Amino acid sequence: MRFTLVLFLMALALQTLVSCASSQEHGGTGSTNFFFTKYNQVIPAFEGRTVPDAQMDISLTLIAAREAKLSKLICFLLYDGMSAKQYAEQIFSDNKKEFREYADDVGEEQVRSWSYEEEHAVEVCGSYAVISKNFSVYTGGAHGGYGTTHYVIDMNAPDRLMLDDIIDKTGFAKLKPFVDRELRLYSQEVSGNPLPPNLPLWEGIYLEADFELKDFYPTESGLAFWWNVYELTPYAAGPVNVTVGWNELDGILNTKGSGLAKAFRK
């Protein structure tokens, strides 16, 4: 179930990405720029003894780059400046401490298993790469948590592209109405009820009346915008993923944004 959730999240996060099929990687190997390493650890709840259904399973599939400058950027963005191996060791250490403290607190009769999975994926198109950092975590209760963060990378720089790197200074005011329209259409698709422009977003499936534009990635049809659960929607509604078409972005993108569009647009 937990592994299926990670696969679902990866598929949802990348389902509209451009089909540069030879360079799409989902925790695999073979790209000339990137490779992946798997790290796994099983942590028993108590040192020196086994309690049924009381362990923490940690599974990591982490990305790295072969080129030195790109590798340094990925370590900075995804691993807080550490290497992938150091990052994995930190996750193992932090979770072991937290899980053992929980087990000691609730005792052998009440302790239950935990899990943490993190899996990275990359889509390369020309000199650009879109890295997806997907995670799922379960620490008891009715359900676990999960989420995705996208990193749009200009490999020539190399640097991460943010929205204000690719949008004209006056473009944000023009962009938000397009995103608002797509969010209303998405709400109708999920709930079956129209959400007309005269009503606030929270009249639909959303928690808020407004939204922030932060997580984005290019696709063959336009710029996709992503919100994890609780950023814009309750858990039951899932993450939100909407796309504004390239044609509507003409006059909104700056020179750097136009270069990104040229690489991905079909």
Give me the domains of the chain, ranges plus CATH numbers. Answer: 2-160 (3.30.565.40), 164-264 (3.90.640.20)
pLDDT of residue 237: 94
- Give the residue among 8, 6, 197, 200 at the shortest CA–CA distance from 120: 6
CB-based burial, 224-234: b 16+ in 10 Å, e otherwise: bbbbbbebbbe
Q: pLDDT (tens digit, 9 = 90+) per residue, 128-148?
A: 999 999 999 999 988 999 999
Q: Which residues contact 211 (CB under 8 A, 6 or more apart)?
A: 179, 180, 183, 201, 227, 232
Contact 190, 224 (CB under 8 A): no
Q: Read off the pLDDT band of 169 (50, 70, 90).
A: confident
Q: pLDDT (tens digit, 9 = 90+) per residue, 199-233?
A: 999 999 999 999 999 999 999 999 999 999 999 99
Contact 148, 134 (CB under 8 A): yes
Residue 28 vs residue 106, higher pLDDT: 106
Average pLDDT, the chain: 90
Average pLDDT over residues 80-105: 97
Average pLDDT over residues 243-263: 96
Contact 125, 20 (CB under 8 A): yes
Q: Is the pLDDT of residue 234 over 80?
A: yes
Q: Is the pLDDT of residue 105 over 70?
A: yes
Contact 133, 78 (CB under 8 A): yes
pLDDT of residue 20: 63
Tell me the residue length of the chain.
266
Q: What is the pTM of this model?
A: 0.89
Beta strands in the chain (DSSP E): 25-26, 34-44, 55-65, 114-125, 128-138, 145-154, 159-160, 215-218, 222-227, 240-245
Average pLDDT over residues 186-201: 97
Q: Read off the pLDDT band of 84 (50, 70, 90).
A: very high
Average pLDDT over residues 75-81: 98
List helix spans (H) across the chain: 2-14, 68-79, 84-106, 163-166, 171-191, 246-249, 255-264
Average pLDDT over residues 32-61: 93
pLDDT of residue 142: 87
